[in-house]
A and B are shown apart, each in its own frame.
Chain A
Amino acid sequence: MKKRSHTRGLACLVLAAAVCLLAPRPASAVSEMFKGKIYNPGHLKPIDSVAVLKVGDPAPDFTLPSIQGPRVTLSEYRGKKNVVISFVPAAWTPVCSDQWPGYNIVRDLFEAHDAVLLGITVDNLPTLYAWTQEMGGVWFPVLSDFWPHGQVATRYGVLRSDGVSERAIFIIDKKGIVRYIHVHDINKRPPLEDIIGALQRIQGGS
């Protein structure tokens, strides 16, 4: 009986080790630009919020301060531009620092689809300013949802229980309607082609 218990224990141990080794390892490439300046929070619960919006809903309006100076109001784009909102969890973290710099070189792709990009985090303005300066600056408005803390993230259903936002993409069409929602695994970056593909479908009227 005792021998059987030991065998079972050993089997569980080996099984656990195997599962750990086979599990996909989180990975993001950190640019040399951020050498020594990135805080790694480790692997996080992929999604930690409850959806409140669905495709077809009117997008909740908001006004937020931007690092570029003027406050930005979503409804000001109505009738003029499609709006891609990129929520990222936190400045100075690995995956977020490996996301917006890519959007920085595809302004033409957004503009080709008559779209603007708004980047939002719950960090405060000085932090966002310093972080994006480290990227060499960005062309798109970077908005701070710091105070009241995470209010916009809450209205979009992407505020996590630890106070940061999800890694999420929302696309709002020119009528102010939510046309695309993707709350991504916080540990991974959403592929660029998913965003561009969604913009193509919106522009194509599908």
Chain B
Amino acid sequence: MRRCFFTVVLAVGLLGCALVPSPGTAQDGGVPQVGDVFPDLMLPAPQAPALREYLGVGPGASFSVNQVDADVVVVEIFSMYCPYCQREAPVVNEFYGLSQRKSKPGKTVKILGIGVGNSQFEVEVFRKKYQVPFPLIADGDYRVYQLLGQTRTPHFIVVKRSADGSRRVIYSQAGSFGDPEAFFHKLVGDR
């Protein structure tokens, strides 16, 4: 009877561990859709000071998308192993350049990539190959990928900050976002 009791306690404990999300992360709720709040999952902060400064994240080891210092944050879910992502890399770089030139107070746009299933080495290979100037975060164990609904790559999710400081997803789509300039103006609401 006593052994049985301990088995029940162990089983319930394990079940609890499995069901309760880690602190600071969201449960797997599928791909964030327009109108959703982006999951407050923690990502490892880039090592390079310039990239940390770009994101506006502090000295901590991790940050969340909702902490990025920008009115609009574009999150690219990509993989070094994804031929579509490879093909789109120059277009995404062009978008970054455009957003750096055209961002203005109240309409700042920043971008970061999450390399799903990619080790740090693989993310660096992608960065060097395509000379990616914006932060790329390695998600080697697919943790972020699973939390974001295991979409196909590339997938772009855009989070916009409202006047009251709250942030919502305003764009969520797999595949190319098309012309970088048109996409930029669409995101900041110029057109």
Q: B-contacting residues of A (Cβ < 8 Å)?
A: 4, 7-8, 10-12, 14-15, 17-19, 21-22, 25, 27-35, 98-99, 101-102, 104-106, 109, 135-136, 189, 191-193, 196
Flag if A98 contacts B79 (CB, 8 Å): yes
Which A residues are CB-close (under 8 A) to B11?
11-12, 14-15, 18
Among B5, B17, B80, max chain A CB count under 10 A is at: B80
In the bound assembly, the distance between CA atoms of A102 and B125 in angstroms comes to 10
Contact string against A for B residues 118-155, beta-carbon threshold 8 Å, 1 for contact and 0 otherwise: 01011001100100000000000010011000101111
Flag if B8 contacts A189 (CB, 8 Å): no
8 A-B residue pairs with Cβ-Cβ distance under 8 Å, sorted by A, are A11-B4, A27-B142, A28-B117, A29-B153, A31-B79, A105-B129, A191-B121, A192-B125
Q: Write the nearest CB–CB distance from B79 to chain A, whole angstroms.
A: 5
CB closest chain-A residue, reference B175: A32
Q: Write the nearest CB–CB distance from A106 to chain B, whole angstroms.
A: 6
Flag if A30 contacts B153 (CB, 8 Å): yes
Flag if B117 contacts A27 (CB, 8 Å): yes
Within 8 A of A (CB), among B85-144: 85-87, 116-117, 119, 121-122, 125-126, 129, 142
Which A residues are CB-close (under 8 A) to B163?
none
B interface SS class: helix
Given A32-B175, A136-B87, the answer on whether A7 and B8 have CB atoms closer than 8 Å is: yes
Flag if B122 contacts A193 (CB, 8 Å): yes
In the bound assembly, the distance between CA atoms of A146 and B108 in angstroms comes to 55
Given A15-B11, A27-B117, A32-B175, the answer on whether A21 and B19 have CB atoms closer than 8 Å is: yes
Flag if A33 contacts B10 (CB, 8 Å): no
Q: Does B83 contact A (CB under 8 A)?
A: yes
Q: How many residues of B contact A (CB 8 A)?
A: 41
Within 8 A of A (CB), among B39-85: 77, 79-85
* Residue of A10, A15, A32, A102 touching B122 (CB-CB under 8 A): A102
In the bound assembly, the distance between CA atoms of A10 and B12 in angstroms comes to 10
Among A4, A11, A31, A192, max chain B CB count under 10 A is at: A31
Which B residues are CB-close (under 8 A) to A7?
4-5, 8
Q: Does B174 contact A (CB under 8 A)?
A: yes
Q: A-contacting residues of B (Cβ < 8 Å)?
A: 1, 4-5, 7-8, 10-12, 14-15, 17-19, 77, 79-87, 116-117, 119, 121-122, 125-126, 129, 142, 145-146, 150, 152-155, 174-175
A interface SS class: helix
Which B residues are CB-close (under 8 A) to A135?
83
CB closest chain-B residue, reference A98: B81
In the bound assembly, the distance between CA atoms of A105 and B122 in angstroms comes to 11
Flag if B153 contacts A31 (CB, 8 Å): yes
In the bound assembly, the distance between CA atoms of A137 and B88 in angstroms comes to 16
* Residue of A4, A14, A31, A99 touching B152 (CB-CB under 8 A): A31
In the bound assembly, the distance between CA atoms of A183 and B17 in angstroms comes to 32
Q: Write the nearest CB–CB distance from A139 to chain B, whole angstroms.
A: 13
Given A8-B4, A189-B117, the answer on whether A30 and B15 have CB atoms closer than 8 Å is: no
Among B79, B82, B85, B174, max chain A CB count under 10 A is at: B82
Q: Write the nearest CB–CB distance from A170 to chain B, whole angstroms.
A: 20
Which A residues are CB-close (under 8 A) to B15?
14, 17-18, 21
Q: Write the nearest CB–CB distance from A56 to chain B, whole angstroms.
A: 27
Not counting A18-B18, A29-B116, A32-B175, a sample of 5 additional A-B residue pairs whose C-beta atoms are within 8 angstroms of each other reads A7-B5, A7-B8, A21-B18, A31-B83, A31-B153
Flag if B79 contacts A29 (CB, 8 Å): yes
* Residue of B18, B77, B80, B84 touching A22 (CB-CB under 8 A): B18
Which A residues are CB-close (under 8 A) to B119?
191-193
